[in-house]
Amino acid sequence: MPVYYMKEIWTPLKLFGIKFFRCEENRIYIKVLQSHRKRIFR
């Protein structure tokens, strides 16, 4: 499994437990509460 280095993107949704991350390849992932990260955009 590849290793991705991600940066967290700050949004107001973070207050509700919804976090967005961007990887090195500019793909955006979402994480809701304690679930796994899921890619939402290419």
Establish if 36 belongs to a structural domain: no
Q: One-letter amino acid identity for 39? A: R
Establish if 40 belongs to a structural domain: no
Mean pLDDT of 7-17: 94
Establish if 16 belongs to a structural domain: yes
Beta strands (DSSP E) in the chain are 6-9, 18-23, 28-32, 38-41
- For the CA atoms of 8, 10, 15, 19, the dihedral, rounded to the nearest 10 degrees, stands at -40
- Identify the domain containing residue 5 by its residue range: 1-28
Mean pLDDT of 12-17: 94
User: Quick one: what percent of the chain has pLDDT higher than 90?
Assistant: 74
The predicted model scores a pTM of 0.79
Establish if 35 belongs to a structural domain: no
Establish if 39 belongs to a structural domain: no
Instruction: Tell me what pLDDT residue 1 has.
Output: 64
Q: How many domains does the chain have?
A: 1
